[in-house]
Homo-oligomer: A and B are copies of this chain.
Amino acid sequence: MKTSKPATPGRRFRGLDSRQRQQQRREQLIEAGLQAFGTKGYHNAGVREICGEAKLTERYFYESFANREALFLAVYAHAIETVRNAVVLALGRSDRDVRSLARTAIRVFLETLRDDPRLSRILLIDALTVSADVGRQSQLATQSFAELVGSLILSLYPQLPKRHVDAQLIANGLVGSTVYLVMHWAANGFDQPLERILEHCVLFYDAAGAQAERMTAG
């Protein structure tokens, strides 16, 4: 790098020192990446376009990111953080009973993606095809979520006959049904009311729960 940052705060400019300005530029780029990737898709958004969107020049792009993939990774992390924050925030002021906890979690999930459709493109579609590296990363993320669901199932139905049924696989299937319903919802422009989608999402969780109960009994 030619422009190696000094350790000092640097001269102030527009009320901000150099570190703050760089941070601000980085955030502009992430927002621009969210916009570009989230609307046109990763493979149809070039560095030039992203910089135009961010109102910054290419030089500042490479100041913060080694390449386009690195930016996507940051955008992806940002997107997943957005969703996660919304969910845990809502869970904080929700009931304690597990069923309504799950329901609010899913509702907030749906709300967040509907309110910013770019997120769904980033999280559910592009993340799989950007690169092998990003693909693994995204798999780990959804996997950790599925594991949460899995442990929830196990805590609710500890007697599950493990020889025949794997709570982890059930959790995966549940995540899949939810994700797929969201994808379909988004693909059709979020035309149906959120409540309707939500009801069908939880329907699967209820159905799986009932099935689990049936199997622990029999």
Contacts and interface: CB of A to CB of B under 8 A. Distances in A.
A181 B204 contact: no
Contact of A181 (B172, B181, B206): B172
A187 B172 CA distance: 13
A158 B206 CA distance: 21
Describe A's contact surface by its main secondary structure. helix
A29 B103 CA distance: 49
A211 interface: yes
Contact of A203 (B139, B170, B199, B201): B170
A187 B126 contact: no
B196 A181 contact: no
A47 interface: no
Contacts of A199: 164-165
Contact of A166 (B43, B164, B200, B208): B200
Given A125-B128, A177-B176, A179-B180, A169 B187 contact: no
Nearest to A211: B207
Contact of A129 (B41, B170, B204): B41
A32 to B, nearest CB: 20
A172 B184 contact: yes
A170 B187 CA distance: 17
Contacts of A172: 180-181, 184
Interface string A172-209: 11111111110110010000000011011101101110
A210 interface: yes
A166 B196 contact: yes
A177 B177 CA distance: 4
Given A41-B129, A129-B41, A129-B43, A204 B177 contact: yes
State the 3 A-B residue pairs at the shortest beta-carbon distance, nearest first. A176-B180, A173-B177, A207-B211
18 contacts: A42-B129, A126-B129, A128-B129, A164-B199, A165-B200, A166-B200, A172-B180, A173-B181, A173-B200, A173-B204, A174-B177, A176-B177, A176-B183, A177-B177, A177-B204, A203-B211, A207-B210, A210-B210
